[in-house]
């Protein structure tokens, strides 16, 4: 299929999918027709007034009709513009809702391969382009089309010869404007892509402000930002060049038509083949054509920009999302979790996991140890169903994990990571995040106590209502970890996943967090990733993973005796 046709198909499909209300479209168009009709009768009234004008016979009735036409035109035009704007805002709001719903339901693999800032740009910048087209430019275009068509029809009846002068200019203008419109589309598409890249870069820099400061990277980031800004500036200049050609070109054609009409009409009036009133009416109609036509150039330029923006929006909407509810609802408590020959790779030919197998009995603690980059975190991602294994399967009891609904599976998992992810908001907001039930204050304080977090929370001025700052920057690492553990308690999971939960803590904080984790792990199947072997010496089973393969398994004492590299790690860490 031709790419150009495909682009337009995407554009119109996206707008139609927003399902604008038919009654709004009808009322808006009806009001536009009334506005146009009211505007079109004014020159006719003016013609009659001028042709029959004299001080002695001033036609008060005709003047009153002109005034009424102006008033009717103003009222219906305002009503039409409001309805079209409302429709535009509603369409864009619907597109944004669809886009946001799609984004939050996309699999983790999509986020791993796409910059956050790019998605923000699609959500904000690209939808703004569509909004500007529908809410601002489309109303003018619709009323303008009706006005132009109505004026040309009346002009044909008034004087077809002079009307032909106007119509000759239309195809000439179209032939020149069309390639400029295509040029504008390419520039606008590039501009939107560059805007997305720039948004992604600055989002990343701002989110890691501490790293920038600690690395003395201000100059580096300033230069990177300067380059991004210059690229945006370059696209802006190219866009300005097209507009600079388009505007004067339209103006040149319009002025040529006006001069031609006045010259030819003046000759006709002098020859007595046309009345002065007819020439004045003709000029008034001409302006009713010129004003909308000059705005058409802006509309088509914006239309090309919107087409480029909708392509990128449609690309996201066409992505395959996770189906959270497909599959069985299974209570995993009391069930064995068995991984059989799990293999996985992010890129073809670069295996991360190779035939990994293990059995986990209910309530057991299974630890994954080994050098960095061995595949431990990837195995966790597969257990959480962020990724699907390339080969092999995971069984929960006798049920393949792939047959259990994602929603059912993940609601039974409590996850505590090294980063202790937190959202901007209060401690209460973070504890209750993701839960769809009402949480009482007593429950919050109870889980805080179990996580050894009640002490520091009670000392804060606003207690549970304390704002934690972006990513929890107002709390220490140990405090964030205890909040994460309390959140896991609140979910009351059957399965725990601890991803180096104490790796970044000082010894005092680690001791408190370890006590909290011990409370949390009691009676629950627990998977642990740990570099500090001191945290897993009591695990029921330790799997040592190197280069994506399990090279050793057993208890701590068994591995010390049988696995040289594990024994070396233990000797270094457990002196």
Contact present, 554 and 542 (Cβ < 8 Å): yes
Q: Which residues, 6+ apart, have CB-to-CB distance to 96 below 8 Å?
A: 123, 127
Strand partners, 417: 499
Helices and strands: H and E segment counts in the chain: 20, 10
Let me know: does 11 contact 306? Beta carbons within 8 Å: yes
- CA distance linking residue 82 with residue 479, whole number of Å: 52
What is the three-class DSSP state of 571? helix
What is the 3 state secondary structure string of 183-207? HHHHHHHHHHHHHHHHHHHHHHHHH
Sign of the alpha-carbon dihedral angle for 455, 461, 464, 470: negative
Please tell me which residue in 500, 510, 522, 546 is annotated as part of the active site: 500
Quick one: which of 70, 71, 64 has its CA closest to 49?
A: 64
Give residue 364's region: left, alpha or beta (phi > 0; psi -120 to 50).
beta
| Contact (Cβ atoms closer than 8 angstroms) between residue 320 and residue 72 | no
364 catalytically annotated: no
Lookup: tokens for 56: 């002695």
Measured in whole angstroms, how far is the alpha carbon of residue 367 from the centre of its chain? Answer: 38
Nearest to 291 by CA among 159, 153, 143: 143
CA dist 363 and 522 (Å) reads 8
CA distance 197 to 181: 24
Which positions are catalytic? 500
């Amino acid at each position: 299929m031709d790419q150009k046709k495909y682009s337009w198909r995407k554009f119109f499909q996206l707008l139609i999918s927003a399902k604008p209300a038919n009654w709004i479209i009808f009322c808006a168009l009806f009001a536009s027709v009334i506005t146009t009709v009211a505007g079109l009768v004014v020159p006719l009234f003016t013609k009659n007034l001028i042709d029959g004008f004299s001080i002695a016979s001033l036609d008060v009735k005709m003047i009153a009709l002109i005034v009424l036409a102006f008033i009717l035109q103003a009222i219906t035009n305002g009503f039409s513009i409001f309805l079209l704007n409302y429709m535009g805002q509603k369409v864009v709001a619907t597109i944004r809702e669809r886009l946001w719903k799609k984004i939050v339901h996309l699999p983790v693999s999509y986020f791993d391969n796409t910059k956050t800032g790019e998605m923000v740009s699609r959500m904000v910048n690209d939808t703004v382009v569509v909004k500007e087209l529908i809410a601002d430019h489309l109303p003018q275009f619709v009323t303008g089309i009706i006005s132009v068509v109505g004026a040309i029809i009346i002009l044909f009846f008034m004087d077809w010869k002079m009307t032909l002068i106007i119509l000759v200019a239309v195809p000439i203008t179209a032939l020149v404007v069309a390639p400029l419109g295509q040029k504008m589309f390419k520039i606008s598409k590039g501009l939107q892509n560059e805007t997305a890249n720039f948004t992604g870069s600055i989002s990343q820099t701002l989110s890691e402000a501490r790293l920038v400061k600690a690395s003395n990277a201000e100059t580096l980031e300033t230069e990177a930002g300067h380059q991004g800004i210059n690229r945006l500036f370059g696209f802006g200049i190219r866009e300005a060049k097209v507009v600079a050609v388009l505007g004067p070109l339209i103006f040149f054609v319009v002025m040529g038509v006006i001069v031609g009409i006045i010259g030819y009409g003046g000759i006709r009036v002098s020859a007595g083949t046309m009345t002065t009133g007819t020439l004045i009416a003709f000029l008034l109609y001409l302006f009713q054509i010129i004003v909308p036509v000059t705005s058409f150039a802006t509309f088509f330029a914006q239309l090309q920009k919107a087409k480029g923006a909708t392509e990128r929006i449609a690309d996201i909407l066409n992505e395959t999302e996770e189906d959270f509810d497909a599959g069985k609802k299974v209570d995993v408590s009391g069930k064995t979790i068995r991984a059989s020959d799990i293999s996985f790779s992010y890129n073809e030919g670069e295996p991360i996991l190779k035939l990994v197998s293990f059995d986990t009995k209910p309530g057991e603690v299974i630890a994954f140890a080994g050098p960095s980059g061995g595949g431990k975190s990837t195995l966790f991602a597969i257990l959480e169903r962020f990724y699907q294994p390339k080969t092999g399967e995971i069984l929960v009891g006798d049920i393949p994990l792939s047959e259990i609904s994602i929603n059912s599976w993940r609601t039974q998992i409590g996850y505590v990571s090294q980063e202790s992810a937190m959202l901007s908001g209060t401690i209460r907001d973070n504890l209750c995040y993701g839960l769809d039930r009402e949480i009482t204050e007593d429950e919050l304080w109870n889980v805080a106590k179990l996580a050894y977090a009640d002490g520091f929370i009670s000392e804060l001025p606003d207690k549970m209502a304390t704002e934690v700052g972006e990513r929890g920057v107002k709390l220490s690492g140990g405090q964030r970890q205890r909040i994460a553990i309390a959140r896991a308690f609140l979910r009351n999971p059957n399965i725990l996943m601890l991803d180096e939960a104490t790796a970044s803590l000082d010894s005092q904080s680690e001791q408190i967090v370890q006590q909290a984790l011990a409370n949390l792990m009691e009676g629950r199947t627990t998977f642990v990733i740990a570099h500090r072997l001191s945290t897993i010496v009591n695990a029921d089973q330790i799997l040592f993973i190197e280069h994506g393969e399990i090279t050793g398994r057993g208890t701590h004492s068994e591995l010390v005796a049988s696995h040289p590299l594990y024994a070396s790690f233990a000797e270094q860490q457990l002196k």
